[in-house]
Amino acid sequence: MCTLKIKPVYKSISTLIFNGMINYNTAVCLIALATMTIEQVSPSDEHIMRRFRAIVIPICLIIILSWCRSQISKSYREKLRLLEIKTLRASKDEDKAYIAKLEAENKRLGAIIHKDNRIVNAMADSVCTYLATSENSDIEALHSKGLSLSNEINAIRVYRQELLNQCMPDMTSIPLTNYSGIDAIISFMTKEASSNNIVLKFNFDSTFFNSKQSTSSELDLVHLFSDLLENAIIATKHAHGRFIELSLQTLKGVPTISVSDSGIPFEIDTYMKFGIFEASTHTDEGGTGIGLMDIWSFKKKYHASLIIEEMNNTICSKRLSILFDGKNRYLIVSNRFQQIVSKQTRSDLLVINAESNKSVDHILSL
């Protein structure tokens, strides 16, 4: 009878072990069962039993603690896994939407090309026919036919341009500075940003160009805006909130150029190499660091101050400002104050803790 009772228990334990189902709780239960069995079977020596309990109880507590830690780690890993899956699905949906948009645009442009192929052949045939019959026609008939052909070609040109303009950004919202070079580069960079689904906003204060302190040439400004906006586009085109703002304004009498974007902040190594070596945070996206060198050359040429602010808001993550204050300073305002200071290798850099709430306006008074 005893053998019959023990055999099912033995089979159950074997099943747990060989199927990989045994866990910490099972181990604790088995230890507790063994302890009670030993207490019942062994002679009732209190001294021995106390020592036995003193050994067994800590072992059980250690096992339970290990089990709790493993469960917490397992739960944490599971939450991380679910979060990664959620992020990947969101990224996948975003990529699918972008691919669908590109496919629709490709289909639309393909239709335009298909029409152009026919229209070009028809136009060529019409011109050839016109030239072939011009010798045998009188002047009035020739003029009337040429005018009709010209109107037809112009109508086709206008229709085609309207089709192409459907995929171009609305340029009417871009304010004009009346400086042709600046207006041209901002218009071009706006189209470049739009092709990457980035909203580029531009605003300026007329006092910026009238200030005596802003002595930079139009050509230098064009090169600067090109570098600033190109770097911002590279940093922003894979961000979730794709936004760039270029602002020309006067802060406390100081002409200031500011570019804010929603891209990732600069690496600390980039801060240390800014203007000294060609360094880029986005080498995998085509960044070479030449633009940062050109920005530094502009700063040095006009004795301007360069301020980089790392911002924690829902729209922009950083702002790069160039101030024509004649002080030739290099400042960084960041929440990563301790990290940047610990790796600081240059004497011309001043790092300000963002938690001190010092804005550009406040820095101007320093």
- Check residue 78 and give its pLDDT: 87
- C-alpha 236/C-alpha 230 separation (Å) is 10
Q: Are 82 and 88 in contact (CB under 8 A)?
A: no
Question: SS3 sequence, 139-151?
Answer: HHHHHHHHHHHHH
Element (H, E) at 20: none
Distance CA 193, CA 236 (A): 9
Choose among 271, 251, 279, 294: nearest CA to 351: 271
Instruction: Tell me what pLDDT residue 72 has.
Output: 82
Residue 258 and residue 361 in contact, taking contact as beta carbons nearer than 8 Å: no
Write down the pLDDT at residue 16: 46
**Could you tell me whether strands 254-261 and 318-323 are parallel, antiparallel, or unpaired per DSSP bridges?**
antiparallel
For 259-293, give the DSSP string.
EEESSPPPPHHHHHHTTTS---S-GGGT--SHHHH
What pLDDT sits at residue 162?
A: 67
The predicted pLDDT at position 93 comes to 79
The DSSP H or E segment spanning 33 is helix 24-41
Please state whether the predicted TM-score (pTM) of the whole model is above 0.85: no
Using CB atoms within 10 Å of the CB of residue 5, give its burial: 0 to 12 exposed, 13 to 18 middle, 19+ buried.
Answer: exposed
pLDDT, position 64: 73
The candidate with the shortest Cα–Cα distance to 359, out of 314, 317, 307, is: 307
Low-confidence residues of the chain: pLDDT under 50 = 1-6, 9, 13, 16-22, 172
Show the tokens assigned to 109.
């442009």
Look-up of token digits 């002679």: 43
Q: Express each pLDDT in 15-42 by its tens digit.
A: 544 444 445 566 666 666 666 666 666 6
CA distances (Å), origin 68, targets 26, 32, 234: 14, 18, 46
Q: How far from 75 is each of 21, 67, 68, 86, 351, CA to CA, in Å?
A: 18, 12, 10, 16, 40
What per-residue confidence (pLDDT) applies to 258? 93
323 contacts 305 by C-beta, under 8 angstroms? yes
The architecture (CATH level 2) of 171-364 comes to 2-Layer Sandwich (3.30)
pLDDT at 27: 64
Give the count of beta carbons closer than 10 Å to the beta carbon of residue 68: 11
DSSP-H helix ranges across 279-353:
290-301, 337-342
Within its chain, how far is the Cα of 343 from the centroid?
Answer: 25
pLDDT at 238: 80
Is 248 in contact with 208 (CB distance < 8 Å)? yes
Reading phi first (left if > 0) and then psi (alpha if -120 to 50, else beta), residue 175 is in beta
